[in-house]
Chains A and B, each alone.
Chain A
Amino acid sequence: MEQQELIPHLFRTEFRKIAAVLCKAFGVEHIGIAEDIASETFLSALETWPYKGVPANPTAWLYKVAKNKSKNWIGRNNIFTDKIAGQIKYSSPDVQEIDIDLSDKNFNDSQLQMLFAICHPAISTESQIGLSLRILCGFGIEEIANALLSNKETINKRLSRAKEKLRVEKVKIEFPLDAEVDQRLATVLTTLYLLFNEGYYSESQDTVLREDLCQEAIRLTYLLVENEQTNQSPVNALLSLMCFQSSRFKARKNENAEMVLYQDQDESLWDQELISKGAYFLHQASKGTQISKYHLEAGIAYWHTIKDDTKEKWENILQLFNRLLQIEYSAIAALNRTYVLSKVNGKAEAIVEAEKLKLVNNHFYFTLLGELYKDIDNRQAKQYFKKALSIAKTRTDKQTIQRKIDQL
């Protein structure tokens, strides 16, 4: 691999490793330091390798530098703590010899523990997503800002506040106690679910970055599946959902980066391997008695991997939406359910149900009404699409609606 490719490549895989292991070693109050040392390690590589040549074992070189920097910091920090804070009575040599273990085993353990620490109820969900991307996925601030359609300053501020909060709350980087696992796991799953959706539905024009986000969400969810205590049925269901959704990644955008709607997608572009993986995890998820919203969403996603427009397919999807809405209402699920109802029970019934929803601030509501009135009353349909166009915010949504108007 060429040097200019090697460092970004190593950054992708090794930054998160060094960051997680150092966070775990230093404690949650020093997340910023762990991050800085990981960054400085790569800076050293950038400064040194072009002159002295790439070392024989680049990864080992990075670990060695990271360890040295860590030891220097620990030494300085101890002196500081001794002199200024005066809380440590004597400087124990053991502390100086703190073990920075960068083995795969310790990396996985540290990541899992960091995942629980970051997905802490004390900090906001958007901060959890930002911190996960930075510490667990090794994304740069600019990449995070791009992915979340924000700017560097906002992201930096958000991350500092979150780190401060974790410090104040004295959140421990450890695996939660048995009694707490289920409750804490629910928060972790919500964050991973949103992280995935951020990538899947993001308006960011950077396709590679969006796919990366989805892959990272899958990787972290897989980490939970591999751990005995967290290998629970909702985790498998969520992983299944992610696999089914990702399978359509390549088919969802055309060469002009425009959204291709489900019914217009070229199904030969659907990734069959991911579909099989999704089916496997859905099977694993069905072993328990618990039915979470992830089970229902994975079920809906499963039926979408079958392109044929059969009555059986839409009937199953309708029943899954009926149950999903009973567990957790969301406007988008209500709108989708009504669309599916038209496929099963006909447009006339769906129009009556749709008009009751009255989600008048949601452009999808008017898109749905336009879709339902199409071929029944095209003039009415056009009015609804125009209304949708007037309140749609993103470029992709506007494009999609405009195409519907043009087709009428």
Chain B
Amino acid sequence: MEEFALIMRHEDGHKVASPEQIQIWMKQTMDWIGGIAALNKFSGGTGLPFEDSRVVRSNNVVTNGPFGEIKETIGGFIVVKADSVDEAVEFAKGCPVLQGEGNSVEVRKIAKGTAPH
């Protein structure tokens, strides 16, 4: 069993959704994660809120938020257990982020045994 990170990307972080809309997305995301957890395939994960976010650049320039010239933002990620990348892709297909045109979910395998001891 491998672990895969499903990274949720929003095409345009500038768009501001209404609280009602955010609540619907939250519910859908929780139901999506709950469905994966019901298969005992959920390992962990977190949302990445925009508040208190900074971008640090190579010359130590710090800017607020992941915005600015970066158009695409990461909304969060979850880590799932899967026998293959194809299974992880099936989980990713259910992600509510994909309802937004241009949004994407990146599926990346978690490297094994490279963590510092």
**Chain B residues closer than 8 Å to A326, beta-carbon distance:** 33-34, 37, 42
B14 at the interface (CB under 8 A from A): no
**By the criterion CB–CB under 8 Å, are B31 and A325 in contact?**
no
Minimum CB–CB distance for A372 against chain B, Å: 14
A319 at the interface (CB under 8 A from B): yes
Nearest A residue (CB) for B78: A326
Minimum CB–CB distance for A320 against chain B, Å: 10
**Chain A residues closer than 8 Å to B38, beta-carbon distance:** 325, 329, 333-334, 337-338, 353, 357
**Chain A residues closer than 8 Å to B42, beta-carbon distance:** 325-326, 329
Main SS class of interface, A: helix
B68 at the interface (CB under 8 A from A): no
Nearest B residue (CB) for A353: B35
**By the criterion CB–CB under 8 Å, are B40 and A322 in contact?**
no
Nearest B residue (CB) for A334: B38
**Chain B residues closer than 8 Å to A357, beta-carbon distance:** 38-39
**By the criterion CB–CB under 8 Å, are A345 and B37 in contact?**
no
**By the criterion CB–CB under 8 Å, are A322 and B39 in contact?**
no
Which residues of B (27-48) have their CB < 8 Å from a CB of A? 27, 30-31, 33-35, 37-40, 42
Q: How far is the CA of A319 from the CA of B40 in the complex (A)?
A: 16
**Chain B residues closer than 8 Å to A325, beta-carbon distance:** 34, 37-38, 42
Category for how many chain A residues contact B: 10 to 19
**By the criterion CB–CB under 8 Å, are A337 and B39 in contact?**
no
A270 at the interface (CB under 8 A from B): no
Q: How far is the CA of A334 from the CA of B39 in the complex (A)?
A: 7
Q: How far is the CA of A303 from the CA of B108 in the complex (A)?
A: 38
**Chain B residues closer than 8 Å to A323, beta-carbon distance:** 30, 34
Q: How far is the CA of A353 from the CA of B27 in the complex (A)?
A: 16
**By the criterion CB–CB under 8 Å, are B30 and A329 in contact?**
no
Which of A315, A337, A356 is in CB contact (< 8 Å) with B34?
A337
Minimum CB–CB distance for A350 against chain B, Å: 10
Nearest B residue (CB) for A356: B39
Which residues of A (270-291) have their CB < 8 Å from a CB of B? none
Which of A319, A333, A334, A338 is in CB contact (< 8 Å) with B30?
A319
A213 at the interface (CB under 8 A from B): no
Q: How far is the CA of A181 from the CA of B42 in the complex (A)?
A: 29
**Chain B residues closer than 8 Å to A341, beta-carbon distance:** 31, 34-35
- List the interface of chain A (C-beta within 8 A of B): 315, 318-319, 321-323, 325-326, 329, 333-334, 337-338, 341, 345, 353, 356-357
In the A-B complex, the 7 residue pairs with the closest CB atoms:
A322-B34, A325-B37, A334-B38, A329-B40, A326-B37, A322-B30, A337-B38
